[in-house]
Amino acid sequence: MATFLYRLGRLAFRRRWTVVLVWLATMAAVGLAAAQAPGTSDERFSMPGIEAQKAYDLAQERFPGALADGATARVVFVAPGGQKVTAPDSRAAIEKAVAKLAGGAQVNKADDPFRTNSVSKDGSTAYTTVTYDVKVADVTDASREDVQEVVDQARDAGLTVEAGGEALDSGGGPGGLSEVVGISVAAVVLLITFGSLAAAGLPLLTALVGVAVSLFSITAVADIFGLSDTASTLAVMLGLAVGIDYALFVVSRYREERAKGRTPQEASGLAVGTGGSAVVFAGLTVVIALVGLSVVGIPMLTKMGLAAAGAVVVAVLVALTLVPALFGMWPNAALSRTSRKDAVKGHCTEKSTENNGGTRWSRFVLRRPVPMLLLSVVGLGAIALPMANLQLGMPGDEAKPTSTSERRAYDDLAEGFGPGFNGPLTIVVDAKGASDAAGAVKVISKEVAATKGIVAVSPAKFNDAGDTAIFKAVPSTAPTDEKTKDLVKTVRAERPGIETQAGATFQVTGTTAVNIDIADKVQAALLPYLAVVIGLAFLLLLVVFRSVLVPIKAALGFLLSVLAALGSVVLVFQDGHGAELLGVDQTGPIMTLMPIFLVGIVFGLAMDYEVFLVSRMREAYVHGERPAQAVTTGFRHSARVVVAAALIMIAVFASFVTEADSMIKMIGFGLAAAVLFDAFVVRMTIVPAALALLGDRAWWLPGRLDRLLPRVDIEGEALARRPGEGADTDGRAAHSPAEVRV
């Protein structure tokens, strides 16, 4: 591995213009394809295997065309000052507004609330549902502006009017703000780390190229594979973070080799051969974790994982090819100011790192490994405690800021019609084998209505064949309330008796039931997913480090990181501590997909730091250093860069907290917290403490297993045994023999 990558680094250095042109051509090609593509998909969320999905599919089959795929919006009218919407002036204003909505572009119909029984019992609130002829992604800004214009006119008549629904969701917060914030902080961290604008700019430039290629590629195939905006955002988030970090490690190793007196081409080859090996295996662990999301069985989650994995692969390829190619164009630009002056004079001086911050910190931990280990484990355990109260759900408009019309419309409906109105249960009755279908539906409707917690049941609607019916059951509690979850379980538990009495079967679906079923499936899939991902990553790290205990320690450290990160998410987004600081106006259940997605991404990133840091320790150990000395050597060479990489990742992830999308906001916060815990507590404290206590046993591997495992040479032993460095032959970057002196 190291030898192959060494040759790749030298080749990219020599063929720099070819490499750069290939990447630019690739970016232009996928950019052109993206510009001509329809864009991201608005494919409906589906979850095979759950009851709610089966019921929805049955309704689609028995009511062809009735469950339209057209986008919908809901406009809510509230009468002023204790008046009623049925008062002549208010009614006239509402009917006028509904008529204008119905005549809007792309609109199929707008229901008259006075004819569809869409007026609250106290007469204070009414609503209309606007159905469009097109899907959500095809609703134009002009159509949204038409709705806003009608809302403003109705408000002028003295009504309180709010609008919500998927058709009016234009995508959330300010586009690109999170990326700008993340890149700005990353630039500052890189500048402090390298002390050079050029060295700081190189990882940013290459990361942006990788992100552009990934984003354009996803956009180009989004409609074909049903990729959503969320998949694109997450791919950008991960691609930017790992792209900067991977380039950072190659640049750092290049500077280290140049400081030892290597020629630019040789330093480029060694940087890719050693640091690049760590990048490859770090990237593999991230890809394994992301691709492993497919075992959960949620198509949307699988697509998000694959899209993000693709972005990581591109970041690895950029670090291995484009970065050394740029070294070839500007061989001294990545060096510090002092080193550049030395290179011009014909020699480089290796700056002593004997007593740098990494060395001092490692020695501090090695002197007191037990207290540091216990303090770290207990601290992370305490932060993880709130996870014991984790509640899963799929927040909707109720999780949006109160400054949005969607949130105010949600609150108005809840106040006028009851908290359960925003999340009714849909009962699908299959009376195909019943002798009296209408009677069977009547029995089921009556029994469901009599269930404690159900406040209203709508009239049943039959299909043309008369063998299937649908009706709504409104809970007394909000969609994300735990009591609503208990209610769904109660209805299903009582189903056998009701079906026997009615002579027909029924299933429960609707957004609320779908969310409940998804939460149950995700919780059931979490342990198998962990087993698959940790098992594969254990095998990978076993090959990389040729040790049994190091991969086990890495996996246990990851569990501490992810549990602490989830505990932090619960503390903020569910319990509300510090929520206002992050712009979270409404706390509630944690998004159902959040834990398993966080586990997948954090595991990959945690292994990144494990590979980057421990590979240098392993390298020192194989070259003859004692265990404690190897730990210090690893920290002396890697700690500064690992800290910089972690700070960059934290900045990139934390910047996505500014997004309006609640899932992106939550994932951004969770990932930032996880990297903070994993990099600064687990990898920088627990790892050296554990290795100090294990000593030589940390690198123990049974002889039979040692013979069976393939050798990948991540430490670069083959490079150390090379008979000579070779010479630069490009005629441009060559320097005098004095340059190779230390």
The winner for highest mean pLDDT among 101-105, 193-197, 222-226, 351-355 is 101-105
Whole-number pLDDT of residue 214: 92
Q: Could you count the other beta carbons within 10 Å of the beta carbon of residue 11?
A: 19
Higher pLDDT, 493 or 232: 493
Higher pLDDT, 581 or 313: 313
Nearest to 425 by CA among 511, 350, 485: 511
- Burial letters 27-49, b for 16+ CB under 10 A, else e: beebbeebeebeebbbbeeebee
pLDDT above 80 (res 582): no
Higher pLDDT, 543 or 172: 543
Average pLDDT over residues 507-530: 86
pLDDT tens readout for residues 430-480: 998 888 999 999 999 999 999 999 999 999 999 988 999 999 999 999 888
pLDDT above 70 (res 686): yes
Average pLDDT over residues 570-585: 80
Q: In this structure, are residues 231 and 218 in contact, taking their beta carbons and an 8 Å threshold?
A: yes
The rounded percent of the chain whose pLDDT value lies above 90 is 35
Residue indicated by tokens 């295996």:
281
Least confident of 114-128, 454-468, 603-617: 603-617
Q: In this structure, are residues 580 and 531 in contact, taking their beta carbons and an 8 Å threshold?
A: no
Average pLDDT over residues 565-576: 89
Q: Please compute Rg for the chain using Cα positions.
A: 30
Distance of alpha carbon 488 from alpha carbon 54, whole angstroms? 16
Whole-number pLDDT of residue 444: 95
Q: In this structure, are residues 705 and 551 in contact, taking their beta carbons and an 8 Å threshold?
A: no
Backbone angles phi, psi at 213, to 5 degrees: -60, -45
Higher pLDDT, 346 or 320: 320
Whole-number pLDDT of residue 350: 46
The winner for highest mean pLDDT among 11-15, 173-177, 296-300, 691-695 is 11-15
β-bridge pairing 454-457 and 160-164? unpaired
| Residues in a beta bridge with 99 | none
Type and span of the H or E element at 164: strand 160-164
Cα atoms found within 13 Å of the Cα of residue 488, Cβ hemisphere only? 29
Average pLDDT over residues 497-523: 90
Res. 609 pLDDT band, cuts 50 70 90: confident
β-bridge pairing 125-132 and 454-457? unpaired
Whole-number pLDDT of residue 173: 43
Reading the block at residue 383, the tokens are 């932060």
Mean pLDDT of the chain: 84
pLDDT tens readout for residues 708-732: 888 776 656 666 665 544 444 443 3
Cβ contacts of residue 568 below 8 Å, gap of 6+? 383, 386, 669, 670, 673
Whole-number pLDDT of residue 499: 93
Whole-number pLDDT of residue 638: 82
Whole-number pLDDT of residue 367: 92
pLDDT tens readout for residues 326-373: 999 988 888 876 666 655 555 555 454 567 788 899 999 999 999 999
pLDDT above 50 (res 494): yes
Distance of alpha carbon 573 from alpha carbon 588, whole angstroms? 7
The pTM for the full model equals 0.76
Q: What is the DSSP letter of 716?
A: -
pLDDT above 90 (res 260): no
Average pLDDT over residues 387-399: 79
pLDDT above 50 (res 670): yes
Least confident of 73-77, 324-328, 656-660: 656-660
Task: Determine the length of the chain.
Answer: 742
